[in-house]
Structure 1
Amino acid sequence: MRSNKLLVDWLRWPLYVRIILIVMLIVLLFGQVISLIEPDVFPTVFDGIWWALVTVSTVGFGDYVPETVAGRSVGIVLILIGAGFVTTYFATLSAAAFQKQHSYLKGETAYKYGNHVVIVGWNEKSNELIETFQKIKPYKNIVLIDDTLEESPLIENLHFIKGNPTIDRTLIKANIEKADAAIITADQYKSETDADMQSILILLALKGMNPDLYTVVELVTGLHLNNAKRAGADEIIKSYQLSSHLMMNSYLAKYGLSSVYSELNPANGNYFKIIPIPPELVGKTFHDASHTLLEKEYLLIGIKKGDQTKLNPPISQILHEDDLLIMITH
């Protein structure tokens, strides 16, 4: 039983570790043997080990050469056995490196780090998100979860996980417990209702494994808005409203309003920011606060109080301690 246990423990070691140990044993053994057979040519055991190492590596410096039949016979055996193991060792390393790269490209390699952003679903929105992250937060690592891609998009700082994002095994590979945030995009291959149901199911899976995870979920209809709130979404993007509002505002304003929206892309240097009201602005009017913040290059555009948001409020409105300020900054 003990010998069987030793064999099992030995076989559990990585193949390349086992091969290098065997090669080291062969070098030490043949180095000892050759120094005993030809002490004149190999005066020390170290000289024999050096010759054995040079021989199995097929370098062959020629500084030590066996002179007797017995010594040369030992050399022949060493070449046949040792060189074969060395070749196998390097072939194993090459195969392991190729397998690792193949697994990475196929989305089979688990992500081991933390403080990353998880993006669920590969589509044009995801691609735009990743490009924006690279411009404003190039140091931020992103993990993409998708079950439709065959290979990783090969984008810098992007780690691809192939799999169903509602399954624990996939989320464990994405190291969701150590993630900073998750963004769930709607599945473009499903109907609108099915896409929203799928997004909420993914949200439940994410929150189940990491309740403190900050989550942003996209909904393409309003049917499951309350379900998304119940599931714990921190931010709900109502793409159906955003698109329709943009089109209506473009119709009303004319003169290329869509280019204004493009300028609000964080990648272009402008983005929204919501902050608690600074103590020195409590009790001041919206007008006075706007001038104070403008000197710091913050454009105050509205106030948020609880679930209520008011853009462009009356300039005489007084700011209170529990207000949040909505600004555009760069």
Structure 2
Amino acid sequence: MRRWLLFSREKLPQLVMTLISAILLSAVFVLLFERSANKDEFGNLFDAIWWAIVTTATVGYGDKTPITLGGRLVGITLIFFWIGFISLFTATIASVLVERKIKEGKGLEVIKSKGHLIICGWNFNTGKMITELENRSQEEEIVLINELGEEEIQNLRYQHNKLNLKFVWGNFTQDSVLRRANVKDAHSVIILADTSGQNPYEKADERTIIATHTIRYLAPKIRISAELLDSQNEQHLKRAQVDDII
């Protein structure tokens, strides 16, 4: 399945070029056959291209019709090509959309939003925070970065369907994960003491500090709020110029 989806995405531009090439080749060949016997309808290359486009579009204007055997064979070939092509093209488009939906559900899609809020990490208080944001009735896009399972994320989206929730799966201390969340175009980031996935609670501050420095490097002007468990680590967050310490 994954190999087919990869094939579909990579081959889509090639399919479009194949269609254009088929139309042009059909136009050239039908012109060669019809130019002498049917000059009124196929007097130049533009007339032939028009006929090829009308034939593939199945519009059926009938203003130009091949009368030679060669011209009709070109028409038959073009019609059968179009039947096969449209089936493959439709399947390719569908598979690309399916791929996007699968990646979105698993948190692997690249976020292209701007001015959004990013919430890094997950713990027992995160649900309450999301509920408070939902009660504000603000049409704000929220991107969650954590290592929750796909089913848990789907439940969150169902429970908070008034919010525009998006999800990026992964370790929020890593550059690549933060880039997928488009951190450079977000307006603010909230870093929570993370217990999602296999992350131990006692190392939450360490991950928060690393994430803070990484985010500040990627987005120097972004507003960062960070949750801290041990007050002795406060100096590390201040060095990273955290705006708010929770």
Indicate the structure whose relative CO is greater, using CA pairs within 8 Å and at least 6 residues apart: 2
Change in Cα spacing, 1:147 to 1:192, as seen in structure 2 (3 Å) is closer
Q: TM-score, normalised by structure 1?
A: 0.57
Unaligned runs of 5+ in 2: 1-8
1:249-298: per-residue Cα shift (whole Å, max 9, x none)? Answer: xxxxxxxxxxxxxxxxxxxxxxxxxxxxxxxxxxxxxxxxxxxxxxxxxx
Change in Cα spacing, 1:188 to 1:66, as seen in structure 2 (3 Å) is same
CA contact (8 A) 1:31 1:52 kept: yes
Is structure 2 residue 177 aligned with structure 1 residue 170? yes
Counterpart AA for 1:21: M
1:21 aligned residue: 17
Change in Cα spacing, 1:209 to 1:28, as seen in structure 2 (3 Å) is closer
1:30 aligned residue: 26
Distance 2:126 2:39 in 1: 72
CA contact (8 A) 2:122 2:193 kept: no
More strand as a share of residues:
1
Unaligned runs of 5+ in 1: 1-12, 238-330
1:87 aligned residue: 87
Change in Cα spacing, 1:219 to 1:205, as seen in structure 2 (3 Å) is same
Deviation at 1:43, TM superposition (A): 4.2
Structure exhibiting the larger radius of gyration computed from Cα positions: 1
More helix as a share of residues:
2
2:113 aligned residue: 113
Q: Percent of aligned pairs with the same residue?
A: 30
Deviation at 1:118, TM superposition (A): 1.0
Deviation at 1:14, TM superposition (A): 5.5
1:236 aligned residue: 245
SS state of the match for residue 227, structure 2?
strand
Change in Cα spacing, 1:78 to 1:211, as seen in structure 2 (3 Å) is closer
SS state of the match for residue 112, structure 1?
coil
2:74 aligned residue: 74
Deviation at 1:167, TM superposition (A): 0.7
CA contact (8 A) 2:192 2:226 kept: yes
Matches within 5 A, 1:1-330: 15-38=11-34, 39=38, 42-45=41-44, 46=46, 48-57=48-57, 59=58, 61=60, 63=62, 65-136=65-136, 138-150=138-150, 152-153=153-154, 154=157, 155=161, 156-188=163-195, 190-237=199-246
CA contact (8 A) 2:54 2:61 kept: no
